[in-house]
Structure 1
Amino acid sequence: MQEFDSPWKQISETLFAEMLAFYRGKVYEAVDWSRPVRCLDKELPKLFSEGQTGRREVDKLFEVHRKEGSRRLVYIHIEFQNQQDPDLPERIFTYYYRLFDKYRKPIWTLVLLGDSVRGWRPDCYESELWDLCLSLRYPIIKLTDYEPDLDELLQSREAFALVTAAHLLAQQTRKKPFDRLGQKLTLTKLLYQKGFSKDEVLTIFRFIDWVMQLPPALTQQFHQALAAFEGEKQMPYITSIERLGHERGWKEGREEGREEMKPDMVEALLTLLKQQNVVLSEQVLSVIEAADVTQVRTWLRTVINGEVPTAFSTPT
């Protein structure tokens, strides 16, 4: 998955409370949300000297207040890791003592593991020398643990249930672009059906769009199908989503008659029909082959929306 950290950093900052509520409910309940929450990672100087190699900046750092305790002001440090790294525990320990040295306040660290290796669960740093023993145990979130509950995630109204589902489906559809197209459209439609605000829809969509990237031809079909869906729902969010696309540099190729896109569109069309158990006659296949790119695009949009074009019904 490309640039694992970036989408998680963005959404954890925007929906920080929702993230804690979903992954660590007891911690969420312990925080006094009536007090300001400060995101500090962008303001921090590097915690390591320039000469040290490797990753040397914390992913996210928040300043919050506890409801109870003698020391109410505390810091929450969140790290995102998408691949096995034997140095991760040492890095977490180093972050911990550097942060404590800087702030002299309680530090709580949470590590979110997005890799697919179920047995890799680094949750402790230990060091011993003679009769000295040092140990730091920290909580982890292993996203693959949620795989058995994927259906429940999709039914949930919690933002991070869909975020977690998007991560898992992105893993499952790697190198399967046509499967990913269908799953991405399903996830995006769910955003509109669960009562999220427009800002929440756009925030979660940014994450989904980042982790479930599609080839250019399928990206175009995705946005056309989504535009049709939004029109039915009378929710004018598509303008903002299209703006996000331009900011990301999408090249959707909206010009009519781009024949070079037709082979990819036909392949997508036939694959999606096969997934829907639609059997096409030789006559219909010939009609598809002879159609221009505009007509193929129209059929593909219909199939993405779960329908079968009437032109594909062989006369009896």
Structure 2
Amino acid sequence: MPLPHDEAFKKLLETFFQEFIELFFPELDSMLDYSETRFLMQELLVDIVGEEARELDLLLEIRYKGLDGYILIHLEPQSYRDSRFHERMLTYFSRLFERYRKEHKLIIPIGIFTSDEIREEQDTLEMVIPEHHILRFQFLKVELRKQNWRRFIDSDNAVAAALLAKMGYTTREARDVRREFLRMFMKLRARLDQGRLALVMSVADLYFQPDRAQDEEIIQELMIQYPEEGEAIMELMPAWKRWGYEEGIAEGIEKGQAEIIRKLLLHGLTPEEVSEAVELPVEKIKKLM
């Protein structure tokens, strides 16, 4: 069973918090000491008269180099339009300030907008009178649909891969986005364990709308380019397994390997050398000759 959207997104932020900050807030990243990070229990925040109670999505404590002390970072994903979201963020900030101001010198709120609509999300709340600012509250924000997907395809950042399909791209670019995601995923296999790889794939599957014929074409392309990686990708592709892709992909792998073998032989390698390179029996290589 795939994780529900909110749970999967929260798990992604918990697991790859450092990668998230590195990707979207590089200046803040340089000020954080990730060796001292602690996620706090879900805070239940109640308004002044106790009529409304809300749980924060993610709240963590981390050391901030500039203050030589601990700060709080509040992450709040938002997947639908809410004209009063900025007011809600101020309410959260106020409650956190009230509760933690003695122990923490700084509270950083971050809104993460995952809606499919491209719009300017309000991140500021002001109260002013002539010649005087009573209040100006502004939280950090990430609007995923405003991010150009091509900026991230050479990255080995797990969050960039997981959220690539939520970035801004046209309908004509959808296939390229899918292919580049799979290529990024293969790069991640060199440094992530299977549990984290599966999490990246699960979140990505929430946003992609896979097409069987297209995916088979992409797999064949990748098998020709990266023959040793194809089966590993397939194993961590739950959507493809649910749709029974194994038979079609296996056929694509055979075609891809045959093409690679043909090219190696044309470049002068012996059947024995090709056999060792692609890890197939010499007899099979000779049949393909």
Query: In structure 2, what is the equivalent of residue 124 of structure 1?
Result: 124
Any unmatched runs of 5+ in structure 1?
A: 256-293, 309-316
The amino acid that maps onto 1:167 is K
Query: In structure 1, what is the equivalent of residue 204 of structure 2?
Result: 208
| TM-superposition CA deviations, 1:67-116 (whole Å, max 9, x none) | 2326x111001111233211101110111111222222221011122235
In structure 2, distance between residues paired with 1:132 and 1:212: 45
In structure 1, distance between residues paired with 2:145 and 2:55: 25
| TM-superposition CA deviations, 1:36-73 (whole Å, max 9, x none) | x1112xx23421378538xx222211110112326x11
Query: In structure 1, what is the equivalent of residue 141 of structure 2?
Result: 140
Query: In structure 2, what is the equivalent of residue 187 of structure 1?
Result: 181
- Residue in structure 2 matching 1:99, options 93, 96, 99: 96
SS at the partner of 2:86?
A: helix
In structure 2, distance between residues paired with 1:52 and 1:229: 57
1:151 and 2:150 matched: yes
In structure 1, distance between residues paired with 2:182 and 2:136: 43
| TM-superposition CA deviations, 1:159-206 (whole Å, max 9, x none) | 33334422126x755xx9xx8677435412322136642325333222
In structure 2, distance between residues paired with 1:76 and 1:222: 43
44-53 vs 61-70, which moves further: 44-53
Instruction: Let me know the Cα RMSD of the aligned residues.
Output: 4.3
SS at the partner of 1:166?
A: helix
Alignment of 1:19-38 (within 5 A): 19-35=20-36, 37-38=37-38
In structure 1, distance between residues paired with 2:39 and 2:225: 34
Pair 167,132 (structure 1): closer, same or farther in 2 beyond 3 Å: closer
Is residue 146–residue 167 contact of structure 2 (8 Å, CA) maintained in 1? no
SS at the partner of 1:162?
A: helix
1:73 and 2:85 matched: no
221-230 vs 74-83, which moves further: 221-230
Pair 64,229 (structure 1): closer, same or farther in 2 beyond 3 Å: farther
In structure 1, distance between residues paired with 2:200 and 2:224: 17
1:232 and 2:233 matched: no
How many residue pairs were aligned? 247
In structure 2, distance between residues paired with 1:172 and 1:81: 22
Larger strand fraction of residues: 2
Any unmatched runs of 5+ in structure 2?
A: 260-289
In structure 1, distance between residues paired with 2:224 and 2:93: 47
The amino acid that maps onto 1:69 is L
- Residue in structure 1 matching 2:56, options 55, 58, 68: 58
1:161 and 2:160 matched: yes
Using the TM superposition, give the Cα deviation of residue 209 of structure 1 relative to its aligned residue in structure 2, in angstroms.
1.8
Is residue 152–residue 160 contact of structure 2 (8 Å, CA) maintained in 1? yes
SS at the partner of 1:191?
A: helix
Is residue 93–residue 136 contact of structure 1 (8 Å, CA) maintained in 2? yes
- Under a length normalisation based on structure 2, what TM-score does the superposition of the two structures give? 0.66
Is residue 162–residue 201 contact of structure 2 (8 Å, CA) maintained in 1? no
In structure 2, distance between residues paired with 1:298 and 1:3: 28
Q: Determine what percentage of the aligned residue pairs are the same residue.
A: 19
Pair 206,197 (structure 1): closer, same or farther in 2 beyond 3 Å: farther
Pair 222,79 (structure 1): closer, same or farther in 2 beyond 3 Å: farther
Using the TM superposition, give the Cα deviation of residue 213 of structure 1 relative to its aligned residue in structure 2, in angstroms.
4.4
Pair 186,220 (structure 1): closer, same or farther in 2 beyond 3 Å: closer
The amino acid that maps onto 1:30 is M
Is residue 73–residue 107 contact of structure 2 (8 Å, CA) maintained in 1? yes
Query: In structure 2, what is the equivalent of residue 281 of structure 1?
Result: none
Pair 222,7 (structure 1): closer, same or farther in 2 beyond 3 Å: farther
